[in-house]
Amino acid sequence: MGSVGYRVLAALLVAGCSLGLAACQEQQPPTDGRAVHFTAAGDMGMGAGARSVLEVVSGLRPDFNIALGDLSYKAGAEQDYCDVVTSKLGEDFAYELIAGNHESDGSEGDIDVFAGCLPNRLQGLQGTYGRQWYVDIPLDKPLVRMILVSPGLEFKDKDEFDYSRGSERYKWTEAAIDGAREANVPWTIVAMHVPCFSLGHYGCEAGQPLTNLLISKKVDLVLTAHEHAYQRSHQLGINGACPWIFSGSAVRSCIASTESQVTSGKGTIFAGVGTGGAGEHDLSGDDPEAPYFAAWSAANRNPALGTLDVHITEGRLDARFVPVSESGFMDHFSVVK
């Protein structure tokens, strides 16, 4: 099967699963007709890899895409990058941005310029697009609150985004999560460029206070990039035997579930999707945090560029990594109410 045919098959697997495969039988129709469909990946660039991933996104036909930072990797090329995106996805597609370290300080692009040529197209956005914002989707009777933050980054205006415990940005994030719960929004997803947990060479650049806040608040899914690889954790949870989760090690009691289908409210899944086109880093299965991870793809193991494809209904969240070719790595997981 050619790559185009494979992408069509992947789209069918996620969207309808009408082919009768066992993995698809986890998918359930929405209970009231509402559904949200989005894709997400970071670390893109403007080369053949990025263009291939954008073609996959185009074939999946999501409602919107979250670009998890590190866009053009080239100073002064903001419009060129925007042109690559719109040539594949269309001028009016909601290609939503959060900054990465390559464009936060303006060294290889300027997030504010990117935000000008790839503007927000989601209704009801609160905050500063490209830096720190959230939005409820759909605006009327929302299914999910998407919260996007920028820990570990410094912007060219010297605004260092501090998410230490008790800081204004920490409190903003906490209030955004609590507000979703108070409004009875079924799902909460947080996205940012830098991870805390990784099998690569990065440490907890997101910061342990923010990371533990997200876990303690039982955010359903956290999306990151920065490490050029795909790495999906088990569901991690804080409990009496695990009051705080530290990076750099793994404690079994901090793993709420190792199943591919988990229950919402028990903990948080972290999905690093730095597979948007710029190539992959090596990861290590001997990393001290390895017991926290359920699946991973890297330059030295099952390398694959691709996107995370996420479908949400009131009762479940289904996510699947869709690679650019039939020989690529695949992964899927679900969170149910």
- What pLDDT band is residue 327 in, cutting at 50, 70 and 90? low
Tens digits of residue pLDDT in 125-147 = 999 999 999 999 999 999 999 99
Tens digits of residue pLDDT in 1-42 = 443 443 444 444 444 433 333 344 444 444 578 999 999 999
Flag whether 24 is in a domain. no
What average pLDDT does this structure show over 213-237?
A: 98
> Which CATH number do you get for residue 214?
3.60.21.10
What pLDDT, on the 0 to 100 scale, is given for residue 302? 93
Flag whether 23 is in a domain. no
Contact 224, 178 (CB under 8 A): no
CA 101/CA 192 separation, integer angstroms = 11
What pLDDT, on the 0 to 100 scale, is given for residue 161? 87
pLDDT of 98 over the 60 cut: yes
What pLDDT, on the 0 to 100 scale, is given for residue 18? 34
Flag whether 28 is in a domain. no
**What's this model's pTM, rounded to 2 decimal places?**
0.91
What average pLDDT does this structure show over 207-213?
A: 98
pLDDT of 326 over the 90 cut: no
CA 37/CA 239 separation, integer angstroms = 32
Least confident of 58-72, 95-109, 171-185, 323-337: 323-337
Tens digits of residue pLDDT in 289-305 = 999 999 999 999 999 99
Parent domain of 324: 3-13+34-336
Beta pairing partners, 310:
38, 319
Flag whether 26 is in a domain. no
Per DSSP, the residues of 6-50 read HHHHHHHHHHT-TT--GGGGG----SSS--EEEEEE----SSHHH
CA 71/CA 1 separation, integer angstroms = 31
Contact 296, 316 (CB under 8 A): no
What average pLDDT does this structure show over 94-116?
A: 96
* Beta carbons within 8 Å of 169's beta carbon, 6+ residues apart: 132, 149, 151, 161, 162, 163
Flag whether 25 is in a domain. no
pLDDT of 78 over the 60 cut: yes
Q: How many domains does the chain have?
A: 1
CA 88/CA 130 separation, integer angstroms = 21
Flag whether 21 is in a domain. no
Tens digits of residue pLDDT in 239-273 = 999 999 999 999 999 999 999 999 999 999 999 99
Flag whether 225 is in a domain. yes
Tens digits of residue pLDDT in 144-164 = 999 999 999 999 887 778 999
What pLDDT, on the 0 to 100 scale, is given for residue 33? 82
Judged on CB neighbours under 10 Å (0-12, 13-18, 19+), 16 is exposed
Flag whether 207 is in a domain. yes
Least confident of 24-38, 82-96, 227-241, 307-321: 24-38
Peptide bond into 243 cis (omega under 30): no
- Report the percentage of the chain scoring pLDDT > 90: 86
